[in-house]
Amino acid sequence: MASVWEDKASALQIPPGRFRLGDPRWLLELRHLPWPMDWAACFGRDGPLHVEIGFGDGIFLAALARRMPEANCVGVERALEPTRWALRRLRREGLENVRLVLGDAFAALALIFLPGSIAGLYINFPDPWPKARHHHRRLLTPAFLQLTAHRLQPGGTLLIATDDVDYALWIADVLRETPGLESALETPWVHALPDREPTRYERKALAAGRVCFYFVWRRNGPVPAPSLPRIMRPEEAMPHRIWKGTPELSRVIEALRGRLWQDGETIWRVKALYRPVAEEGLLIELLMAEGQWVEQVALRFQPHGSGVWILKPAEIGGIRPTEALKMGVRAVARAIEEATPEFQVLSSTI
Ligand SMILES: C[S@@+](CC[C@H](N)C(=O)[O-])C[C@H]1O[C@@H](n2cnc3c(N)ncnc32)[C@H](O)[C@@H]1O
């Protein structure tokens, strides 16, 4: 089996030696941020919050920040390479009122932005996933747009642009069904918006003669709170269980491989098992889905002193202390106990 570290590095496609995440001036990693984030403290001043999702090379975000010097502008992007381009642009232009957040848009909106806090939210040319079997990967689902509407302040604006006709019709349908939103225009969309800084994708689409669709919607009423993962109480310890005994790892692997557990809307699946090269034990990759919220976490099953073993969340990937994580650790612990009946529990928080 490949080493854990080799596997994770290639999955993240980190260009060796070319990218440093720790540029505290502009770049923040979602997994290290408090929930919610104190944006006024982060920018050193109060200001209307404008957020761009999937900022790509950052050209639109930079233009936004230049045009609205009074605004606190936050970009959220999950891919490293465009984040690197955008970071270079911000450095070059020396823009002070922008922060980049590296992480998933759904998690970012849910965790670091308070309800009713965003004045303007921009989603330019989200990946259209044109094949029907890939539609579930589209960002603009009913749950995502409800969360978006919930985070907008009353009267706040949501701007979406796409050049994909099918996605545009899908977006129009979902927007219409999202409570608390209405079009700020006479029509659900328009084909041109004056005074707009075209994004990289937009320039390509226009150069190829494709028609663009621009949605400008506004929060005009109450939005029911979206259903989000239940967060553990802050005083609770990260879930873990400690046993006395020595497991036969081949039996534990057999008991865990491909396992799936379900409790109502929540599903846990053992996605992969790794045996670290230089250490004893197992790294368990667990996929957790709570409705629309999907997370992949890593658990470690390893020695914890002589003749004692522990199961606990690993540091890799920034673990969120949700109830689902706790229940996932409990399900894995039970499977380990089935494979190792001689294990005696020494302590457990699950
Ligand atoms: C088609 S590109 C458009 C980039 C840019 N907005 C433009 O118009 O040139 C879509 C961007 O959204 C980002 N993205 C897709 N899903 C995302 C998610 N769930 N969270 C954050 N960024 C996401 C992708 O990494 C990619 O950079």
Q: How confident is the model at residue 21 (pLDDT cuts 50, 70, 90)?
A: very low
pLDDT higher at 14 or 331: 331
Range 2-25 average pLDDT? 38
What are φ and ψ of residue 272, in 5° steps?
-155, 155
What is the per-residue burial (b if ≥16 Cβ within 10 Å, else e) of 230-246? eebeeeeeebbbbbeee
Residue 9: is its pLDDT beyond 50? no
pLDDT score recorded for residue 233: 61
pLDDT, tens only, 320-346:
677 888 899 999 999 999 999 999 999
Residue 107: is its pLDDT beyond 80? yes
Q: Which atom of ligand 1 is nearest to the CA of 76?
A: 21
Q: How confident is the model at residue 282 (pLDDT cuts 50, 70, 90)?
A: very high
Residue 3: is its pLDDT beyond 50? no
Range 123-127 average pLDDT? 98
pLDDT, tens only, 138-159:
999 999 999 999 999 999 999 9
pLDDT, tens only, 38-92:
999 999 999 999 999 999 999 999 999 999 999 999 999 999 899 999 999 998 9
Range 89-110 average pLDDT? 91
Cα(208)–Cα(203) distance, rounded to whole angstroms? 9
Residue 16: is its pLDDT beyond 50? no
Cα(243)–Cα(310) distance, rounded to whole angstroms? 6
CB 181 within 8 A of CB 217: yes
CA of 139 from ligand 1 middle (Å) equals: 9
Query: Does domain 16-219 bear CATH number 3.40.50.150?
Result: yes
Q: Which atom of ligand 1 is nearest to the CA of 201?
A: 9
Q: How confident is the model at residue 289 (pLDDT cuts 50, 70, 90)?
A: confident
pLDDT higher at 296 or 101: 101
Mutate to test the pocket of ligand 1, among 30, 31, 51, 53 (most ligand atoms within 8 A of CB): 53
CA of 57 from ligand 1 middle (Å) equals: 10
Range 257-278 average pLDDT? 90
Residue 17: is its pLDDT beyond 50? no
| Residue 279, token pair as written in the block | 């250490």
Weakest-pLDDT range from 67-71, 223-227, 275-279, 299-303: 275-279
Q: How confident is the model at residue 2 (pLDDT cuts 50, 70, 90)?
A: very low
Burial class (CB in 10 A: 0-12, 13-18, 19+), 200: middle
Range among 19-23, 49-53, 132-136 with highest mean pLDDT value: 49-53
Catalytic positions, please? Answer: 127
pLDDT score recorded for residue 4: 28
Q: State which H helix or E strand residue 282 sits in.
A: strand 282-290
| Residue 71, token pair as written in the block | 């605004």
**Distance between alpha carbon 174 and the CA centroid of its chain, in Å?**
21
Nearest CA to ligand 1 atom 1: 127
CA of 267 from ligand 1 middle (Å) equals: 27
pLDDT score recorded for residue 232: 59
CA of 287 from ligand 1 middle (Å) equals: 23
pLDDT higher at 196 or 33: 196
Q: How confident is the model at residue 290 (pLDDT cuts 50, 70, 90)?
A: confident
Q: State which H helix or E strand residue 243 sits in.
A: strand 241-244
| Residue 327, token pair as written in the block | 């229940």
Nearest CA to ligand 1 atom 15: 54
pLDDT score recorded for residue 227: 76
* Residues with C-beta less than 6 Å from any ligand 1 atom: 53-56, 76-79, 82, 104-105, 124-127, 139, 199-202
Q: For residues 93, 98, 103 and 106, what is the CA-based torsion angle, rounded to 10 degrees?
A: -140
Cα(47)–Cα(34) distance, rounded to whole angstroms? 19
Q: Within 10 A of 123 (CB to CB), how many other CB atoms are there?
A: 24
> DSSP letter at 236?
S
Range 248-264 average pLDDT? 94
Mutate to test the pocket of ligand 1, among 74, 109, 127 (most ligand atoms within 8 A of CB): 127
pLDDT, tens only, 195-214:
899 999 999 999 999 999 99
pLDDT score recorded for residue 1: 32
Range 279-306 average pLDDT? 87
Q: In sequence order, which residues have a C-beta less than 8 Å from that of residue 162 and are 6 or more positions away?
A: 125, 126, 128, 168, 171, 212, 213
CA of 54 from ligand 1 middle (Å) equals: 3
Domains of the chain, residue spans: 16-219, 241-348
| pTM (2 d.p.) | 0.76
Residue 253: is its pLDDT beyond 50? yes
